Amino acid sequence: MDIPVKKILEEAGETLRLRLLAGGAGLERSIGHVRVETPGLALAGLSQFVEPDRVQVLGEHESDFLSSLDEARRAEVIARYLMVRPACVVVVDDLPVPEPLRLGAEREGVPLFVSSLRFGTFTERLTDYLQERLGETRTQNGVLVDVLGVGVLILGKSGIGKSECGLDLVLRGHRLVADDVVELKHRPPATVYGQSPPLIRHHMEIRGLGIVNLQELYGVAAVRDRKRVDLVVELVSWEQIEEADRLGLQEATYDILGVELPYLVIPIQPGRNAATIVEVAARNLLLKRQGRHSARELQARLERNLATGAVEPTRGEENE
């Protein structure tokens, strides 16, 4: 998905402190990549390395190089560079803009911006914006909840109890991100964020009760607008699976927009508290991130005992 250059000016111009200097006729030119480029190689004559769908940022090193050239050579280098017609050019750090660059950008219809931000700050902010705007997206039926800082995406067939599980988690002090429809966005290299469509944000459908606004019911601490997805949990009826995982040694993944995320299947039946299990799953994921894997540690202890013939004492025996 591409975006026109003018969108950056309209949506992020203030954050990036952008000011259009020349080339306004080219504001419809397309940007199709999140990577920001510097024109160092192109100014040195290697114009084949310029990617026309990327933002070109001219910083201190490029400015010093152009300043070191005599007037005729500077004009020649800039003219050759602009012939590639990059999406746009930004001169950062309030550096002086060579007159041949301003005139050439106007002539070629290449938007030329200036920004008062330092090079590193500008490229970081611009990359964040482009990742947000150009990232691949999809929608998913489910519930997204922030559980102890872990973004848990709850999936399952209609009527399985996804919303009720999400509501129970909110009552335990966790935060709802989206119910029913979750908008998912990929941010390179391997992160997926989820949010609710603006129209139904902070709302939840409870069968038999209807639609409720959780922010109004429980306050702003019960909701959040956006969360990274860390864990995918699918609720299924007990009859649907032949045998549930009882050890936790096998670790499955779920693909969302090319990102493999930890995936659990939780069998549901009357009397089984899904919210409790989801909360434990989130806590267990946090432990795994700290290098603690309970199932594997127990398996290793059992294998050591079998190998040595030793039997570990129980807690009662240790206290006697």
Tell me the average confidence (pLDDT) per consecutive run of 10 residues in the chain, 320 residues long: 89 94 93 86 75 89 90 90 89 93 93 95 93 87 97 93 94 96 89 94 90 95 96 90 71 92 89 90 93 84 80 56
Q: Is residue 82 domain-shared with residue 165, that is, in the same domain?
A: no
Nearest to 9 by CA among 105, 98, 26: 26
Q: Tally the C-alpha atoms within 13 A of residue 80's C-alpha that lie toward its C-beta.
A: 17
Do 244 and 118 have their domain in common? no
In the chain, what is the greatest distance between 2 CA atoms, to the nearest angstrom?
A: 94
Give the domain range for residue 30: 3-133
| Catalytic hit among 168, 180, 187, 230 | 180
User: Residue 193 belongs to a domain with what CATH number?
Assistant: 3.40.50.300
In the chain, how many domains are there?
Answer: 2
Active site residue 185: no
> Looking at residue 310, what is its pLDDT?
62
Query: In the prediction, which pLDDT does 312 show?
Result: 61
With contact defined as beta carbons under 8 Å apart, do 135 and 188 qualify? yes
Contact 66, 91 (CB under 8 A): no
Q: Is residue 310 part of a domain?
A: no
Is 102 a known active-site residue? Answer: no
Pairing of strands 150-156, 137-147: antiparallel
Residue 304 lies in a domain: no
Same domain assignment for residues 41 and 100? yes
User: Which one of the listed residues 54, 162, 185, 187 is annotated catalytic?
Assistant: 162
Is 180 marked active-site? yes
- Residue 50 tokens read as 């310029």
pTM greater than 0.85: no
Residues 83 and 190 in one domain: no
DSSP per residue over 174-196, as a string?
-EEEEEEEEEEEEETTTEEEEE-
36, amino acid identity:
V
At 263, list the tokens. Answer: 């995936």
91 lies in a domain? yes
Task: DSSP letter for 54, please.
Answer: S
In terms of C-beta density within 10 A (0-12 exposed, 13-18 middle, 19 or more buried), how is residue 25 classed? middle
Query: Which has the closest alpha carbon to 34: 139, 255, 189, 138?
Result: 189
Q: Which of 113, 126, 108, 133 is nearest to 26 (CA)?
A: 108
Q: Is residue 317 part of a domain?
A: no
Among 99, 133, 167, where does a domain finish? 133
In a domain, 275, yes or no: yes
Same domain? For 99 and 152 the reply is no
